[in-house]
Structure 1
């Protein structure tokens, strides 16, 4: 393997136009990476090393095309699959079409993107893959499709970690708990009694910020951290080991 200090880092971040994904892009740029955002919307980040590609990752053919284009244009050696949606419903109302869509977004696009960038990672004998799961992977009311696909990421990452470790490629998972984003406020009204109750139920007594998650991603993508693979880091204020009131 070439010296880790000399590696030119090029990262794909899915869902990089807003919320946690945008902050991850900003942190990786600050870390010296060239960053390609793959998102349904343009990533509004003013930086010479930021490239924005608009794609719907629920559309398999569009994802395959974008993945091939990014892999051809850039020598990608870091992948952060952050894009996600919830589509919450109690069990009697769960729609199988929603399950299919979340499988495609959370799992299928992760596979397609990883397959596209693997040749470069293997050639460089260096790669960092981070999948964004969720505290909901351990269970949450109304999250049948979301929890199932986010939990699927854990098994997928552990499998890839075993397969790719000899190639110098690490694969890890970040699983955020409640984080203040537009998606969070789509579910819980801002400044509501429900938000206050949620905050009180979190062991650290605050709701997380996107930067909390981005710092965890920076750890896993750091070239120096080559001895950590197949791991899940819950960035959740302690809610993965205690009760969570939604």
Structure 2
């Protein structure tokens, strides 16, 4: 079976799809002798700034790692605070997303959240579904390994039922079973706070993405930081395994 050609991107092009691991809220708060929730509140403000900046800078898709499937291991009070902030973000930002023509997408096992939050997310997705502008993707209760396993099971079930020849499963077919199937390939993945790991985020999608690790804590991330990241991206030569 021939491998799928790697994606091509002209050297002069900016990234169409940028993803960010938003890290450092707790350290931001600790450095200021504040409770962790204060860092998370400032992190929400950073989400507002960066989502607006992404539109200004011409990014077609912005994917934000908001809550991982591993984050349930945090203290229950902190998890409750994070879910409350998510409710507040949806309630306060939805009108602007509609006004700006932004489509909202959510990936991950978010339907396992509380019923009222699921209803809010469903309503926000439906209200923005026809918007013609850029896409804001929120990874919520998301884990890349679980996403890959789910895709593999889905294809295995189709093969079991005679709907799919296993020999036809290639990179393109597998990608079609992922939650990001209809999005542009991931071009740039940024992690804030100086940590240098992917933390179970977009593992398949990051295969040919440029990785950028910045020391800025997420609550301090803004349009200038994002613009600087895009400038670094523009200086890189993306060979996709070629010369």
> Does TM-score exceed 0.5, indicating one fold?
no
Looking at both structures, which has the greater relative contact order when contacts are Cα pairs under 8 Å and sequence separation is at least 6?
A: 2
TM-score for the superposition, normalised by structure 2: 0.36
TM-score for the superposition, normalised by structure 1: 0.36
Please identify the structure whose Cα radius of gyration is greater.
2
